[in-house]
Amino acid sequence: MFSKKKEKVGKVSSENNETVIVLDFGSQYSQLIARRIRECSVYSRIVPFRISAADIKKEKPSGIIFSGGPASVYQKDAPKCDPEIFRLGIPILGICYGLQITSHLLGGKVNKGTAREYGRAELQVLGDSELFKGLENKLTVWMSHGDKVLSLPEGFAPIAKTNNTEYAAVCDPSRKFYGIQFHPEVVHTPKGKKIIENFCLRICRCKGDWTMQSFIEQSVAEIRTKVGKGHVILGLSGGVDSAVAAALIHKAIGKQLTCIFVNNGLLRKGEVERVAQVFNKNFKIDLRVSDAEKRFLAKLEGVQDPEKKRKIIGNEFIEVFQEEASEIKDADFLAQGTTYPDVIESVPIGGNPSSMIKSHHNVGGLPEKMKLKLVEPLSRLFKDEVREVGRKLGLPDEIVMRQPFPGPGLAVRILGPITREGLDTLREADSIVVEEMKKAGLYYTIWQSFAVLLPVKTVGVMGDERTYENVVALRVVDSQDGMTADWVKLPYELMGLISNRIINEVRGVNRVVYDLTSKPPGTIEWE
């Protein structure tokens, strides 16, 4: 259901009779649309815009949402859906580009607007509409468009406008076709979820009875079908994602799963011992520990570029797994806890290769020669959804509520070359951050809190002596799903306590700074 493999046109299937599918026209928000649908307790899946009307008809969806996209409908190679989709009698909601392509294909006119509209706008709802049922007449919405609909197709009428866009929302009620120029899926449209809920529950007549338990049941069935009698190995890091993936896969195939913990030398203080203890206690599965610290650090020696670090770690990670797999009979699948934020940050945005944010060792760093086939049951879930699955599977809070930790580990929290000394310094500083955040009751309530070792030294005074030592940055952010984040305003007393402890207890550090950057424009990790 939520596997990483590309959806094949003509391969749409679901056992759930109430499905709203998302036609993806290249929007970076397509997964977010699917997420909002699921938040309405309606099953959702994403399919490519090229899918045929015949294949959609086989799916028997309750509704279709056309995503946004970076193209202009009047461009020569603009993505266009099968026009027969409009003859299936299925409710359709077009978002941004989805509205424009609907208008274009049904006889309306779309072109560049006299003024572009980006950011917040005030939407004026016109009259009564099922789409805006239960909402005020004036709404704050998020716009992101330069093109606009200039004339509507036959049968359509405007149901909302802004100062810049007279057709900010339109509908053909007889065919249950709706279109909106703004993005209801983003948090910047405060009532956006209600709009999507109205489409799913009122217009598409879905009952809204899909749950994470349904996801688990379908995932278990799909894993069993994909793996068959084969054997799966999984990289168990001790983090939330790999733990939930392990529990889910183990529920599906039991003894056909072997978990491998790779000590790459880039882990947090006491991580190896902690993982062995926690997972021997909570999982009755085959857990093997591979000590590969020396080979990872040797490959990373002198490397400064963060992308090179990630690729090296990714390649070495797979090499270790290939070696371990050779000792496991019938090991032909590699399982990973890849989640959606990993995927979206590791692929080009809007089709522009230069716009990739960063690669992840379990996404962008996979070598083509890898012999193992991938099993990624969480790759279409956001972090809070992964946590919910973990709870449903009976995992303890010490695992489910653990803060995210990057796949490349401390390598992307040391700016510049990786050294054993730098790793030891950062481990000590990071353990102080975690310890004090837990004591303050904040560790499980915010998204992430960690230390970063900077490639600069500053002058300080300790006792009566001049020092010239390292700087540690403290990064504490809050987020819902990792797609956006804001820095946390920690109490000054706590900031001071953490700073004092790091400077006094960690050799080689004489200064601590606090990162006040949100995401965007920054990322959560520094590299």
Q: Which residues are catalytic?
A: 96, 183, 185
Question: Largest alpha-carbon pair distance within the chain?
Answer: 83
CA distance to 21, 47, 231, 333, 420, per residue, from 228 (Å) = 28, 25, 9, 11, 43
Nearest CA among 43, 56, 45 for reference residue 9: 56
Inter-residue contact 402 to 389 (CB < 8 Å): no
- 23, containing H or E segment: strand 19-24
Nearest CA among 406, 524, 426, 509 for reference residue 475: 524
Spatial separation of the C-alpha atoms in residues 143 and 124, rounded to whole Å: 14
Determine phi and psi for 91, rounding to 5 degrees: -55, 140
Give the 3-state DSSP-derived string for 468-517, with helices as H, strands as E and coil as C: EEEEEEEEEEECCCCCCEEECCCCHHHHHHHHHHHHHHCCCEEEEEECCC
Spatial separation of the C-alpha atoms in residues 71 and 147, rounded to whole Å: 10
Distance of CA 304 to the CA centre of its chain: 26
DSSP assignments along 385-438, one per residue: HHHHHHHHTT--HHHHTPPP--TTGGGGSB-SS--HHHHHHHHHHHHHHHHHHH
Query: Crossing angle for the helix pair 240-253 and 383-392, nearest 10 degrees?
Result: 40
Give the 3-state DSSP-derived string for 307-321, with helices as H, strands as E and coil as C: HHHHHHHHHHHHHHH
Spatial separation of the C-alpha atoms in residues 17 and 253, rounded to whole Å: 26
Beta bridge pairs of residue 48: 24
DSSP-derived pairing of the beta strands 63-66 and 19-24: parallel
Spatial separation of the C-alpha atoms in residues 212 and 210, rounded to whole Å: 7
How many other CB atoms sit within 10 Å of the CB of residue 177? Answer: 24
Token digits for 359? 């690669």
Non-local CB neighbours of 516 within 8 Å, separated by 6+ positions: 487
Nearest CA among 285, 284, 289 for reference residue 274: 289
Inter-residue contact 178 to 203 (CB < 8 Å): yes
Burial 384-397 (b: 16+ CB within 10 A, else e): ebbbbbbebbebee
Q: How many residues does the chain have?
A: 527
Single-letter code of the amino acid located at 269: K
